[in-house]
C-alpha cells in the first residue's frame, strides 16, 4: 500500500464521488418525470451499444439511501449528483413537479444526515425531450428555458444546497450531441454546433448569476473537460493541429467565462465562423461570470496529428492503443503526468479562484469473482493521479477538492452498461452492488 494519505491534502478538502441523473436514477417515467433526450435517443436503433437504455440505470431513484450509505462507508465526505430537468420541470418550463421536488429533498436530506456535503450539478446532459423537439440547444430560446430551470433549482433547493455546478462539460454535449451525432440528441453539422456552443456558454454564465442572486452563501462553479494535448511530432502541421484541438478542448468555454470572449486565432477559421454565426462580439460581457471555482474533469491526454480528412479541425487522435502506451479498457491513455500538466495549465489561468477536480476515473471490464472485484489497475490509476494532484497543489495550485468518477458502475452514455467506471460493481440484472478493491482502497485512504 502506498504511503500517500488523504491528510496530505490538508483539512477541509472535499473528497467526493460524482454521479449523474441520466446515468443513475432510472425511474424514467415515474412520479411525473417526462422523457429526456437520452430516453428518446435510446429508442433509435444503433445509437447505444447493445440496445441499452437509461430507463432503469442503477435504480438510484429507489436505492439512493443504500448508495449514500455506501458512499459514507467508503469514507467520502461529499456527494455530487445532478438534477434531472425533466423530473423537476416535465414540460421543460412552467409547472414544477412536486414529486420531483420531493425526491431531491429526500436525497439532499439524506446526504446532510450522513455528513455528505451535496454538490449539485444543474445540467448533466439530459434535456427534456419536449424542449429538444423545439430545437434544444440550437434554439435561441434555450438561454431563457435554462434560466427558468436554474431558478426552479435555486428556489426549491437553495436553502439546503450551497455548492452548485451550473453545467457539466459543455464541449462534450455540444460536440458529441450537436456536431458528431454520437450522443443525444444525435444532431450533426456546424449549423447545429455553432448555436449550441453559444447558447451553452450564455446559459452557463447566466446560470451562475441566477444562483448568485437567489442562493445566499452559494459556492458556484461549472465543470469543464480538460486534457493535455500533445502533438504527434514536431512537424508544423502536427503542432498546428494540436493547437486547434487545445483550443476546442481546453479554451473554447473557459475563456469566455473568464471574460476573454471566445478564443481568437486567425489560423483556425472555425473560430471566426463561431463569432459571425452568433454575432458573438456583442456578448463578451454576458458570457462572463466570476465563478467561485472551476470544476476540472480529466480522464486522459490526447496525442494529435494533422489530418486533412477531418472537417473543421483537420486533426485526429493517434490512439493510445496504436502507440502501445498504458490505456484503460475504453482505450483511453492512462498518464498521471499529463493530469499534472493540465491541472497546472488550467490552475495558472488568471481569474480562476479555486479549482476542484469534479471528475477523474478509469473504465475496466470488471468481473465479480468469489464476491470480489480485483481492479488493481484502477487503484494504480487513482494513486498516480492523486500523487500528481498533490504535486500541483504543493506547487501552489488552489485545489479544494477531488471527486472520483464514479460511485457505482452506471449507464455510460452511448456505451450503455458496457463501460464500468464504478468503485462499486453493479450486476445490472439484479442491481446487486459489490464493492471493488478500488472502493476498499478508497476507504483505507480516506479513513
Ligand atoms: C464525463 C462525463 C461523465 C462520465 C465520464 C466517463 O465526460 O461527465 O458523465 O460519463 O465522462 O466517460
Taking only the tens of pLDDT, the chain with its 447 residues reads 457 999 999 999 999 999 999 999 999 999 999 999 999 999 999 999 999 999 999 999 999 999 999 999 999 999 999 999 999 999 999 999 999 999 999 999 999 999 999 999 999 999 999 999 999 999 999 999 999 999 999 999 999 999 999 999 999 999 999 999 999 999 999 999 999 999 999 999 999 999 999 999 999 999 999 999 999 999 999 999 999 999 999 999 999 999 999 999 999 999 999 999 999 999 999 999 999 999 999 999 999 999 999 999 999 999 999 999 999 999 999 999 999 999 999 999 999 999 999 999 999 999 999 999 999 999 999 999 999 999 999 999 999 999 999 999 999 999 999 999 999 999 999 999 999 999 999 999 999
Report, as residue numbers or ranges, the catalytic residues.
169, 359
- Ligand 1, atom 10, lies closest to the CA of 412
Q: Pairing relation of β-strands 117-123 and 163-168?
A: parallel
Kindly report the backbone phi and psi dihedral angles of residue 389, in degrees, each rounded to the nearest multiple of 5, phi listed first: -65, -40
Peptide bond into 185 cis (omega under 30): yes
Report the pLDDT value the prediction gives residue 1, as an integer from 0 to 100. 46
- 421 Cβ inside 6 Å of ligand 1: yes
Distance (Å) from CA 25 to ligand 1 centroid: 15
Peptide bond into 263 cis (omega under 30): no
Which grid coordinates are listed for 148? 427558468
Q: Pairing relation of β-strands 315-317 and 302-306?
A: antiparallel
- 411 Cβ inside 6 Å of ligand 1: no
Kindly report the backbone phi and psi dihedral angles of residue 269, in degrees, each rounded to the nearest multiple of 5, phi listed first: -60, -25
| Per-residue DSSP letter, 250 | I
Distance (Å) from CA 361 to ligand 1 centroid: 9
**CA–CA separation, 243 and 171 (whole Å):** 16
pTM above 0.95, yes or no: yes
CB 155 within 8 A of CB 60: no
- CA 233-234-237 angle, to 5 degrees, is 85
CB 88 within 8 A of CB 96: yes
Helices (H), 228-268: 236-246, 254-257
Pocket test for ligand 1, best of 38, 124, 381, 405 (most atoms within 8 A of CB): 405
**Cα 16 to Cα 13, 334, 427, distances in angstroms:** 10, 21, 23
Helices (H), 348-396: 376-394
Distance (Å) from CA 225 to ligand 1 centroid: 9
Pocket test for ligand 1, best of 358, 413, 417, 423 (most atoms within 8 A of CB): 413
Domain boundaries, the chain: 6-446
- 165 Cβ inside 6 Å of ligand 1: no
| Per-residue DSSP letter, 116 | P
- 403 Cβ inside 6 Å of ligand 1: no
- 171 Cβ inside 6 Å of ligand 1: no
| Sign of the C-alpha dihedral computed for residues 198, 405, 66 and 72 taken in this order | negative
CB 361 within 8 A of CB 299: yes
Neighbours of 351 (CB within 10 A): 14
- 24 Cβ inside 6 Å of ligand 1: no
CB 211 within 8 A of CB 154: yes
Report the pLDDT value the prediction gives residue 3, as an integer from 0 to 100. 79
Name which CATH class applies to 6-446.
alpha beta
Pocket test for ligand 1, best of 49, 123, 412 (most atoms within 8 A of CB): 412
- 172 Cβ inside 6 Å of ligand 1: yes
Amino acid at each position: 500500500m502506498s504511503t500517500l494519505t488523504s491528510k496530505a491534502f490538508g483539512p477541509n478538502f472535499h473528497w467526493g464521488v460524482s454521479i449523474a441523473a441520466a446515468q443513475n436514477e432510472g425511474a424514467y417515467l415515474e412520479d411525473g418525470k417526462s422523457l429526456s433526450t437520452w430516453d428518446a435517443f435510446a429508442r433509435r436503433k444503433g445509437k447505444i451499444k447493445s440496445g441499452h437504455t437509461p430507463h432503469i440505470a442503477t435504480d438510484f431513484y429507489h436505492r439512493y439511501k443504500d448508495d449514500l450509505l455506501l458512499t459514507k462507508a467508503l469514507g467520502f465526505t461529499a456527494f455530487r449528483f445532478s438534477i434531472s430537468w425533466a423530473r423537476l420541470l416535465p414540460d421543460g418550463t412552467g409547472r414544477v413537479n412536486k414529486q420531483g421536488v420531493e425526491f431531491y429533498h429526500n436525497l439532499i436530506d439524506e446526504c446532510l444526515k450522513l455528513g455528505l456535503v451535496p454538490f449539485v450539478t444543474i445540467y448533466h446532459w439530459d434535456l427534456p425531450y419536449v424542449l429538444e423537439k423545439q430545437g434544444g440547444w440550437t434554439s435561441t430560446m434555450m438561454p431563457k428555458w435554462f434560466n427558468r430551470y436554474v431558478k426552479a433549482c435555486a428556489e426549491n433547493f437553495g436553502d439546503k444546497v450551497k455548492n452548485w455546478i451550473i453545467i457539466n462539460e459543455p464541449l462534450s454535449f455540444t460536440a458529441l450531441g450537436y456536431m458528431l451525432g454520437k450522443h443525444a440528441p444525435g444532431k450533426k453539422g456546424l449549423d447545429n454546433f455553432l448555436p449550441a456552443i453559444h447558447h451553452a456558454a450564455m446559459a452557463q454564465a447566466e446560470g451562475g448569476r441566477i444562483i448568485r442572486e437567489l442562493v445566499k452563501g452559494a459556492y458556484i462553479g461549472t465543470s469543464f473537460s480538460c486534457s493535455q494535448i500533445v502533438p504527434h511530432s514536431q512537424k508544423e502541421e502536427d503542432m498546428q493541429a494540436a493547437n486547434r484541438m487545445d483550443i476546442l478542448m481546453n479554451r473554447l468555454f473557459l475563456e469566455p467565462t473568464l471574460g476573454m470572449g471566445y478564443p481568437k486565432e486567425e489560423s483556425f477559421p472555425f473560430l471566426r465562423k463561431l463569432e459571425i454565426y452568433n454575432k458573438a462580439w456583442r456578448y463578451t460581457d454576458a458570457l462572463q461570470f466570476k465563478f467561485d471555482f472551476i470544476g476540472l474533469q480529466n480522464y486522459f491526454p490526447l496525442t494529435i496529428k494533422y489530418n486533412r480528412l477531418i472537417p473543421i479541425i483537420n486533426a485526429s487522435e493517434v490512439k493510445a492503443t496504436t502507440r502501445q502506451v498504458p490505456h484503460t479498457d475504453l482505450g483511453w491513455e492512462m498518464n498521471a503526468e499529463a493530469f499534472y500538466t493540465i491541472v497546472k495549465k488550467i490552475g495558472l489561468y488568471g481569474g480562476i479562484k479555486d479549482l476542484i477536480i469534479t471528475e477523474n476515473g478509469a473504465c475496466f471490464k470488471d468481473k465479480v469473482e468469489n464476491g470480489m472485484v480485483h481492479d488493481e489497475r484502477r487503484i494504480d490509476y487513482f494513486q498516480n493521479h492523486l500523487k500528481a494532484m498533490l504535486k500541483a497543489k504543493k506547487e501552489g495550485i488552489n485545489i479544494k477538492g477531488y471527486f472520483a468518477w464514479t460511485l457505482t458502475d452506471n449507464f455510460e452514455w452511448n456505451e450503455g452498461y458496457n463501460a464500468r467506471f464504478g468503485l462499486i460493481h453493479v450486476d445490472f440484472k439484479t442491481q446487486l452492488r459489490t464493492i471493488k478493491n478500488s472502493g476498499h482502497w478508497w476507504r483505507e485512504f480516506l479513513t
